Amino acid sequence: MTASAQAASAQTANASARFGTFGGVFTPNVLTILGLILFLRAGWVVGQAGLMGALLIVLIANSISFLTGLSLSAIATSMNVRAGGKYYLISRTLGREIGGAIGVPLYLSQAISVAFYIIGFTESLEGIAFFSRIDARVLSTLIAIVFAVVAFIGADFAIKIQYFILAALMAALLSFFGGGWLSIQAPTLTASYGEGMSFWSVFAVFFPAVTGIAVGASMSGDLKDPGRSIHKGTLFSVLFTAVVYFLSVIWLSLHGTPDELKSNTLIMRDIALFPPLILIGVWAATLSSALGSIVAAPRTLQAMANDGIVPRALGSRLGSRTEPRVGVLITAGIAFAVIWAGDLNVVAPIITMFFLNTYGMTNLVAGIEKLVGNPSFRPRAKIHFSFSLLGAAGCYGAMFVINPAATVVAILISYGIYFYLERRSTIRTWGDVRNGIWFALARRALLNLERSVFHAKNWRPNILVFTGQPHNRAPLVEIANLLSRGYGIVSFYQLLVGDIDQLAKRGLRRIARRQIRTFIQEQNMTAFAEADIVENFYAGAVTVCQSHGVGGLEPNAVLMGWSDTEGGRTLSLRLLSTLFELGKSVLFLHHDEKRGFGNRKVIDVWWRGRSGNGDLMLLLAHIISQSPTWDGASIRLLQTLPRGEGRVQTEAHLRALLDRVRVNAEPVVVVPPRGEQFPDTVKTWSRETDLTLLGMNRPEADEWESYGNQLNGWLSAVGTVLLIHSGQTEDLLAPND
């Protein structure tokens, strides 16, 4: 964007930012929430559910709307909000395609709602002689034209008109609460459901009353301080209207029997101090909702046009500095078409589902953003993710309670739009849709991972385990699962040594892979299965360790069992030397056949400083201690101090290290007797330990045999030991500074 274009954009933004919290958010929300259901259906709800049931319905409905308001506030205060309201908030967090899948139905719902509200207003005039002589569709069209002209002139004019409508609405409520003081009767507390009715069916009738909480957010591009205004205006409007509904339900319950409340839709007029004001309230409710929708809908369309979801020409202002006038004309055209379409009963439930789907997605966005801990999500209005997810569950639960069929249709339409936008962005050839989706997600993730710069804080165990057939190596399988613990990757590998041509002809590789996969499924594990035919184990293992994986998912650690034969140990140490040069960490499990992993309560880490294997040992010990099977296990960080000098300082150093890297462990400084060798010290201190982690040296080629025999000579006296040689050069315990 050029400097002049940026200046023009800034000037437009300044010109459009002209409404505060009360006029831009609170008033539109209140006028939409306090609608026809308050005046024509609240008494029916009380008659069906009784006072206690009606209060519970109002409580549940307003709790869902309040949670949604909290989520909306969190999102709005975590970014610089521009025009587009809920579409803008969702598209900027979940992306263009999902934003469009929500935004297009949302816009159509807003546009069609204009016609619904106007038709409702027109029907309320049928009892007046003058209006009864005019065709209802003609009268609705004339009113729609008036509202379109108001919106075309500008939101300033519309907001001023809404103040008068708000005054009329408040007058109607005052008249309602001011009347009936001489006819108070005992309320019916329990339900008196009619045929085919239940608590949830009554809830389904009432719930749409509270779905107007985000009308003000649609004015986001016209607010002086969008984040602050959406946050405060939304929550205050929810609380204010909740109080009105609670008081209305109580007052209605004091002025009629269940049958009267169910049959008399205008019972509020009979209770009111000045009955004509209730009819004015009905008119105010319908007209205000229509006016709010015809002002909000074009702004949603304009935001989508700016993002290329719909043709950009649909966002044109036609010479206005602030008003999306093309959007106003299109919205008016949709309203005209709906008015003349005839029966709208089929479409109406789907429109409600679109609104609820938007609110549910708003909750999901806030909950997921908070749950994953995205650093860019720093809302001023803080909310725990559980409240947002509870709000999402409430919205989607309400959708199925109100109308399951309409819910399915609304979701299918949204998914259809999503797939269309996804396909329009990148043309793909689809086979099985599920495989296509997963492949696309995996491909994108791998490419992003390949391009990303690795940081030690993002290190995760990606372990290649040479298990053979894993059902024969249960301890090795268990330790691999402990180390991956749901956020790492484990690959079980079997190397079939022999003549490649002969073994391949017999299909042994395919059979071995199938057997490993079957084992993984039977054990309900998360791992990959692989097998290769190799001419010799050493060359095959080296090749596999270099070639296994793709993108940024190459294995960073290799796990094997510690051999009980001299030749096997020599081969393992030769492999260790080669894999270290390839940047792989190597782990050997020496499993005590008698004790196994003991009680899984104590883990010892023998510390020799951070320059060698210490970082990896301590990190793996922490990962193991967090697993469900080792829940509550304690870690001891042991360091030898041969002469005992500086013991206090050494222990303080270990404690400070553990505190800095946030690993819960007990520092232990061991002062061995004079002349005692390290293996004897380990045997003394870790004899009863359930798992001991020891660092390994990397011996020279002429020392492989002797080093292996030396280790093997005393390991059996310790118990189960995980030998570790780190190939990592990064600081794996780096704090999150």
In a domain, 732, yes or no: no
In a domain, 729, yes or no: no
Task: Give the C-alpha separation, 601 to 592, whole Å.
Answer: 16
Among all chains, which residue has been given the structure tokens 């006819």? Answer: 183
In a domain, 374, yes or no: yes
Among residues 423, 441, 456, the one where a domain terminates is: 423
Lowest mean pLDDT among 43-52, 54-63, 608-617, 634-643: 608-617
In a domain, 667, yes or no: yes
Residue 365 has pLDDT above 80, yes or no: no
The structural domain count of the chain equals 2
Contact 90, 365 (CB under 8 A): yes
Dihedrals phi, psi of 730, to nearest 5 degrees: -85, 160
Q: Regarding beta strands 557-561 and 691-695, do their DSSP bridges make them parallel or antiparallel, or are they unpaired?
A: unpaired
Condensed to tens digits (0 to 9), the pLDDT of residues 335-352 reads 888 888 765 555 666 677
DSSP-derived secondary structure for 682-698 = HHHHHTT-SEEEEE---
Half-sphere CA count of 43, side-chain side, radius 13 A: 23
Half-sphere CA count of 384, side-chain side, radius 13 A: 3
Within 10 Å of residue 696's Cβ, how many Cβ atoms? Answer: 18
| Predicted local distance difference test score (pLDDT) of residue 249 | 92
Residue 105 has pLDDT above 60, yes or no: yes
Amino acid (1-letter code) at residue 337: A
Residue 435 has pLDDT above 50, yes or no: no
Higher-pLDDT residue of 10, 574: 574
Task: Give the C-alpha separation, 230 to 82, whole Å.
Answer: 12
Lowest mean pLDDT among 15-29, 253-267, 478-492, 536-550: 15-29
Domain range holding 193? Answer: 12-423
pTM for this prediction: 0.56
Lowest mean pLDDT among 115-119, 542-546, 561-565, 675-679: 115-119
| Predicted local distance difference test score (pLDDT) of residue 14 | 43
Q: How confident is the model at residue 436 (pLDDT cuts 50, 70, 90)?
A: very low
Here the CATH number for the domain that contains residue 72 is 1.20.1740.10
Tokens of 268: 């509020």
In a domain, 541, yes or no: no
Question: What's the first-to-final CA gap in the chain, in angstroms?
Answer: 35
In a domain, 495, yes or no: no
Q: Which residues contact 486 (CB under 8 A, 6 or more apart)?
A: 526
Does an H or E element contain 530, and which?
strand 528-534
Strand order in the sheet with 666-670: 528-534, 489-497, 462-466, 557-561, 585-590, 721-725, 691-695, 602-606, 634-640, 666-670
Among all chains, which residue has been given the structure tokens 């118990």? Answer: 719
Compute CA distances 215 → 313, 413, 583, whole Å: 24, 22, 57
Lowest mean pLDDT among 43-57, 74-88, 302-316: 74-88
**633-657: string of b/e by CB count within 10 Å (b at 16+)?**
bebbbbbbeeeeeeeeebbeebeeb
**β-strand partners of 659:** none
Over the chain, what is the mean pLDDT?
Answer: 80
In a domain, 240, yes or no: yes
Condensed to tens digits (0 to 9), the pLDDT of residues 456-488 reads 666 778 888 988 888 888 888 888 888 877 678
Residue 427 has pLDDT above 60, yes or no: no
Condensed to tens digits (0 to 9), the pLDDT of residues 686-706 reads 888 999 999 888 888 888 898
In a domain, 487, yes or no: no
Where helices occur in 312-346 by DSSP H, the ranges are 325-339
Amino acid (1-letter code) at residue 587: L
Residue 531 has pLDDT above 80, yes or no: yes
| Predicted local distance difference test score (pLDDT) of residue 246 | 94
Of 332, 83, 66, give the one whose Cα is nearest residue 217. 83
Q: Which residues contact 74 (CB under 8 A, 6 or more apart)?
A: 366, 369, 370, 379, 381, 382, 383, 388
Residue 628 has pLDDT above 90, yes or no: no
The radius of gyration of the chain's CA atoms, rounded to the nearest angstrom, is: 35
Among residues 390, 423, 456, the one where a domain terminates is: 423
Across residues 273-300, what is the average pLDDT? 84
Across residues 610-622, what is the average pLDDT? 80
Q: Which residues contact 176 (CB under 8 A, 6 or more apart)?
A: 248, 251, 268, 271, 272, 273, 277, 278, 281
Half-sphere CA count of 338, side-chain side, radius 13 A: 26
Condensed to tens digits (0 to 9), the pLDDT of residues 279-289 reads 888 888 788 78
| Predicted local distance difference test score (pLDDT) of residue 120 | 75
Cα torsion angle, 16, 21, 23, 27, sign: positive
Among residues 402, 423, 444, the one where a domain terminates is: 423
Task: Give the C-alpha separation, 709 to 445, whole Å.
Answer: 45
The angle subtended at Cα 406 by Cα 120 and Cα 437, nearest 5°, is 135
Amino acid (1-letter code) at residue 725: H
